[in-house]
Structure 1
């Protein structure tokens, strides 16, 4: 089998750093914590966006963020067992809302 050169391979085998990313965070008492998300298959993943516009389009304009290089995001997520970084995810589901309990009354 012929070895593919990087210029010929549309998806190179070696991961390359994505550069500085806009990383969604949640503020806390001691600073910010990077938000960890789940892929459609349920795998935990760190998320970063290549622009504030993309972050706001996906998570809304009120989502706090910090700038991190992709290797720094991996270093933060690694101790949590998160080995995947997703860049520019497009689809999200709204946060679940509590379902009201059914009424206990009887209809006549």
Structure 2
């Protein structure tokens, strides 16, 4: 029976680099900017995907992206106060839709 040295056995809570990620971006004045999201409790998070297919399945085929390493994405997010990184999220809320402005209601006052 092999004896495991627990000092060398990685714990699930330890950060392990995810490798190059597909990071969703949006157009900005200086090129593109990384998109940040919120977790269900409301915490801001950077998001990266391990494949284009996973990114498209979650955010749609038209979502633009760049490739960044996990440490580079963390370094980009940290100065903006974003300390959480979510890799391969499977669910996202649908995009907010703009509602048509309410119709103006005109009241005719009859004075009689």
- 1:91 aligns to what SS in structure 2? coil
Secondary structure class of the residue paired with 1:66: strand
Larger gyration radius, structure 1 or structure 2: 2
- 2:93 aligned counterpart, secondary structure: coil
* 2:16 aligned residue: 16
Consecutive unaligned residues of structure 2, counting only runs of 5 or more, are 108-112
Per the normalisation by structure 2, the TM-score is 0.80
Cross-structure match for 2:68: 68
- 5+ residue gaps, structure 1: none
Q: Which residue of 1 aligns with 2:110?
A: none
Matches within 5 A, 1:1-108: 4=6, 7=9, 9=11, 11=12, 13-103=13-103, 104=105
Distance in structure 2 (CA, Å) of the matches to 1:105 and 1:43: 44
TM-score scaled by structure 1? Answer: 0.83
Deviates more, 1:44-53 or 1:89-98: 89-98
Q: Please report the RMSD computed on the Cα atoms of aligned residues, expressed in angstroms.
A: 2.2
1:24-83 per-position Cα deviation (integer Å, ceiling 9, x unaligned): 001222111100000011100000000000000000010000000000000000011000
Aligned to 1:25, what secondary structure does the other structure show? strand
Give the paired residue count: 102
